[in-house]
Amino acid sequence: MAVKNTVNIIRMALIFGFGAVSSTVAAGAGDLGPTLTSPASLETAPNADGFIQRWLLLEPIAANGLTDSAVQGAVKKQYFPNQFTVIPHEGDKVTVGAAELTWHAVDTKNYNINLYHFARALGKPTSDVLFWAVTLVNCPREMRDVRLAIGSNAASVWWVNGKEVIGIYGDRQTVIDDGVSKRLTLQKGQNIIRAAVVNGGGATDFCARFLDAADKPIRGLTLTVGQGPK
């Protein structure tokens, strides 16, 4: 099992954006919430603990229920064309029902992506909603026997290169490495990581990182968003 990081001790403070971490976010981050900012570079790297801090987020979609069956039903429903294959770009739009929703590229200074801050800053609902998240993980070489380790508030389902690899369910808090996939292979070059996070109410966020064969965080990666063909 992956070793639980001591960051758990301060997890709740980070979720709500208290403390010095929030004050370090660059000017202009208010457009995305107090803990998020727009990417200032074409690529970045995981932080010292291996956490992926750059994602494309779609504005929330209405969804109900946190049980296994309710979440699987919600994430498998087709809301927009190519939702399991698209590599979105900053500002791309999709139509879900009568609503036009926008993809936003974000960086966080924290280990987690605060979806509550994201949705509230955009004037969007934060309860009974589904968030889609996509990032591109670029590997300098093929990496075998790695595992995707995630946490979310609340339920979430995760895909790597189009294959569903892990899901966690129920009304839960984000805990580092709360769910860990079976061993998988990251291919040399681009790998597509996709997540769907379903929240019932209150705070909502997620975190993700890759662990090597010895359950150590992998840092020798680069992260990009919106670099695929339109």
At 64, phi and psi to the nearest 5?
A: -130, 145
The pLDDT tens digits of the residues spanning 144-172 come to 999 999 999 999 999 999 999 999 999 99
Nearest to 218 by CA among 228, 208, 203: 208
Q: How far apart are CA 200 and CA 136, in angstroms?
A: 27
Helix (H, G, I), strand (E, B) or coil at 37: strand
CATH number at residue 219: 2.60.120
Which ranges of 20-176 does DSSP label H, i.e. alpha helix? 20-23, 68-76, 115-121
Domain range for residue 101?
6-224
Nearest to 151 by CA among 104, 119, 113, 125: 113
Question: Is 230 inside any structural domain?
Answer: no
- How many structural domains compose the chain? 1
Provide the mean pLDDT of the chain.
87
The pLDDT tens digits of the residues spanning 64-89 come to 999 999 999 999 999 999 999 999 99
Average pLDDT over residues 188-210: 97
pLDDT the model gives residue 33: 81
Question: Is 215 inside any structural domain?
Answer: yes
Confidence of residue 101 (pLDDT cuts 50, 70, 90): very high
Question: Is 229 inside any structural domain?
Answer: no
pTM equals 0.85
pLDDT the model gives residue 109: 87
Question: Is 1 inside any structural domain?
Answer: no
Residue 102 scores a pLDDT above 90: yes
Residue 31 scores a pLDDT above 80: no
pLDDT the model gives residue 212: 97
Residue 8 scores a pLDDT above 60: no
Average pLDDT over residues 118-127: 95
Decide the pairing of beta strands 179-180 and 143-153: antiparallel
Residue 139 scores a pLDDT above 90: yes
At 132, phi and psi to the nearest 5?
A: -100, 140
Helix (H, G, I), strand (E, B) or coil at 134: strand
pLDDT the model gives residue 4: 44
Average pLDDT over residues 97-104: 96
Question: Is 131 inside any structural domain?
Answer: yes
